[in-house]
Every structure is written in C-alpha cells, then in structure tokens.
Amino acid sequence: MYGVLDIGTTKIKIFVYDKELSLRYREIVDNVTSPDGTQDPGLIAASIKHFLNVAREQGVRKFGVATYRASVVAWDRGGRPLTPVYTWLFGKVDDLYGSRFAALQHLPKLGILFRKYSPLFKFLRAYRDGGLGGCLKAGTCFLWTLDGFVAYLLGRRYISDATNATLSGFIHPRSFKPIPLVKELIGVELPLPEVVDNYGEFGDVEGMEFRVLIADQQAAAVAEGATNRGVVKVTLGTGLFVDMPTVHYAERRGLVPLVLYRVSRDTRYGLEAYLPAAGHFIDGLVSLGLATYEELSGLDPGGEYLYVLPAPAGLQYPPAAWVRGALMGLRLYTRREEMLSSVVATLSFYVRYVIEAGRYKAERIRVDGGGSRLGSFLRCLASVVDAPVERPEDYEGTARGVLSLLAYGDGLVELGKPLGRFTQISDKSLYCKRNFETWLRKMKFLKNLKPFFQAV
C-alpha cells in the first residue's frame, strides 16, 4: 500500500492507494491560516503525527509527502517550532522592503528574487522576529521552507527537495548551488540544507519507507503529464497557478523558473505564473452569500462584463504586490449573475494572458484542483484558448503526482506520462470569448503594468 501526505495551504490530507493505484482511504483536516498569512507549525506537526498513525493502520509500506511552497519556518534540533509558518500568502514586509530592495528588483538576472512576494523576505521576517541569528550561528536551530521542517520531523535530516529548494531564493534552479551574493544582500546568514531528488530513500518512519518529497504544484504537473513540452497544467485551488513545461531550463521576464522534478540525472523544467488567493476570492463570494459553489459551477456566463481583478493578495505576474481585488463598472441595474459571470471569465482570461505573455505554444491544457469542478470556469477557458481543455476524473492532482513517483520507484509507471483519465471540455461560452479583449484593454491602463500587457 502507498501513502500520500498532502500538506496544502487550506487542507492537510492523507490518501492510501493499493498496488493497482486505486484509492482505498482518504481523510482531510483543515489547515488554518491567520489573517496575516501565518500558520501554526504545531498544528501541522500534530496532523502529520496523526496521519502517520493512520497510514500505519492502513498497511502503508511506502509513502511520500507534498508541501505547499515558498513558506518559511524555524525550528530547533528537537523539531520544536521557533516561529510561525510564514506562508506564501504572508505579505507584511513593508518595513523590511526599503529602497535598496526596490532597486535590486530591476537587476537583469537576480531581480525576480527581490520582489515583494519573494520568499527571501519571509526568511528575513522570521530571522528578525524570531531573533534567530545566535542559534543559527551556533547550529542549534534551522530556518528553511516548510518541506525542510516536515522532512526533519519525519527523519531528523536537514534536507530540502529540488522543487522546493529552488523556490527558496537561495538555491539556483539550474545548478542547484547557492546563488552568489543573496545571503549578503538580504542580510540573513543561515546554513543551507542538502538538496535531494524528489524520489529517494529519506528514512524509515515507524516501519514505513519515506520515498517522495516534492512541492505541491510540481506534483500536480507530474500527475497531469505537464512535464512534457506543450501540456500546460492549470490549478485552481487557494491560488490560480499556470505551469508551462519547457523541459530544459528557461527564463522569461517576470515568470518563475521551476524545477518540475529531479529524479536521478533527469531534471525537468518549466515556467510559472500565479494569481495568489484567486480561490480565496471565490470563497469570499460564497461566504458573503453572493453565490454558492453549485451555482458558480452551473453558471452560463452572460450579460454585461464588469472589470474584475480577483487579487486580494496582489499579483505575482505581472509583478504588482500593491494591487488588491477590484470590481469596477457596476451600474444601477447590474445583476448578481453578471458579477459572477465576470469573476469566472476573468480567471480564464488570466490563464490565456499568461500563456501568451510567456510566448508558449500550448497543445493541451489540463485543469486540476478544487476549482476544476467549476464547470463555468472550464467552459470559459475552453472558449478563450486555442488548445483542448481537459479535466481529470480525480481533481486531486498533487496526490496523484506523489503516487506516480512512488509507483515509478517500483517500476509500475513511466515518469512523464499522466496518471488518470481525462475528459475534454466541449461546451464553449461566446460571452467569455468576446470579453477577453475588453479585460485586456483595461489591464493595460493599470499603474506600472502597461509594459506587461502591451505585447499581448
């Protein structure tokens, strides 16, 4: 039996699969994020302990872990947390982000590391607020991304997998070596972990073999076969992520270079853009009583388009951390359905924009995450892109990706091939197709963003 532990921003999940790769057990607990974007690492540790017991009781022999990314925590040699987890949604760094860093973001190669959403400023926040300089220098504590904390809890090894380590800001995704000058520029001195493959021997945990460690979005890319050029993976969960595999290392202005996986001598690369908290924006509409998930899914978009920017935590791409969610163009008789139609359509517009801005040739787009159950979003997306849009039968892409790596290790699957069955979206929406240019024109007039939209 295989076990998969999926540590997500909003949920922590355990999946148990048999040797035929069929799901036998699943359990989910909430992962609570504070309003400031931090989480309690003690809750995460307690959930891991509980799910390890579940896995053992279910007869699991090998297991793997996926974690959410670009989130920072400190802990001591006993595995006790010293700071909260500063998640990728944490944004209270204005007091740290002075003119020096604002200037550094314009550097040709290193600039992307010094934008406000960068994990480097979460490291700096934890370093300063936790008073960690002394213990880091003495070697009695650790400061790293969440995967390192989880791996330490499980195996008492200070390691970080290739997909997570290269999103820290300290490790270069092409060489897997420390990026020169970053520690000096950011003012944080810390020991770096051993960078490990996404499949390996990471220890024996309560009689179970710990074999896989990977970032959640990259695990989903593995599941959807989006490690091969042309297959774009879109995840609508807490955020909206667009991952475009390039196979070899590549850079594009403003897009994040990704390691999709590293196994033995095989490394696959991609480019990514994401809309932070896009899923939270939808959850907010539901919590305010403006919609239900069932209504959003069955919605037939129509009416007048309202300009919507579903970005309550800012934009990662284009780089605009200062942007917040917006709804403009309300009229005296605007209907609720028109507002909901505009939100759904805008999410699909963002996906198309990213693909075109990245000058990427999409041959197939696979959508996973909880948002893949929103039929209206899928119909809009199928209407505005020039490639088939597919939805997997099992939307838990992260879990399937970890399972694929576990099965690969036992010779059951070929790495790079999708795991699962997919349905092509055939219905289209004329409303979405005709309003993309309207949205794009409005985006071109946002302060400081005009250069990013002129070429699209």
CATH number at residue 173: 3.30.420.40
**What are phi and psi for residue 83, nearest 5 degrees?**
-140, 165
Find the domain containing 102 and state its range: 2-215
Radius of gyration of the chain (CA): 21
What is the per-residue pLDDT for 281?
85
What is the per-residue pLDDT for 94?
83
- Let me know if residue 145 belongs to a domain: yes
- Number of Cβ within 10 Å of residue 315's Cβ equals 23
What is the per-residue pLDDT for 392?
94
What is the per-residue pLDDT for 21?
96
The structural domain count of the chain equals 1
- Let me know if residue 205 belongs to a domain: yes
- Let me know if residue 86 belongs to a domain: yes
- Residue 181: left (phi > 0), alpha (psi -120 to 50), or beta? left
Q: Which residue has the tokens 């948002």?
A: 371
What is the per-residue pLDDT for 419?
94
For residue range 96-108, list pLDDT tens digits in order: 887 677 777 777 7
283 vs 121: CA distance, rounded Å? 27
144 vs 286: CA distance, rounded Å? 35
What is the per-residue pLDDT for 181?
84
What is the per-residue pLDDT for 222?
97
- Let me know if residue 394 belongs to a domain: no
What is the per-residue pLDDT for 450?
53
- Let me know if residue 36 belongs to a domain: yes
- Let me know if residue 203 belongs to a domain: yes
Q: Tell me which amino acid residue 45 is.
A: A
Q: Is the Cβ–Cβ distance between 141 and 207 less than 8 Å?
A: no
- Let me know if residue 23 belongs to a domain: yes
- 10-residue mean pLDDT profile of the chain (456 residues): values are 96 96 96 94 97 97 97 97 95 80 74 82 94 94 98 97 97 93 86 97 96 97 96 94 95 90 95 89 85 87 88 80 78 88 94 93 94 91 96 94 97 93 92 91 68 56
For residue range 284-333, list pLDDT tens digits in order: 888 888 888 888 888 888 889 998 888 887 778 887 777 777 788 888 88
- Let me know if residue 254 belongs to a domain: no
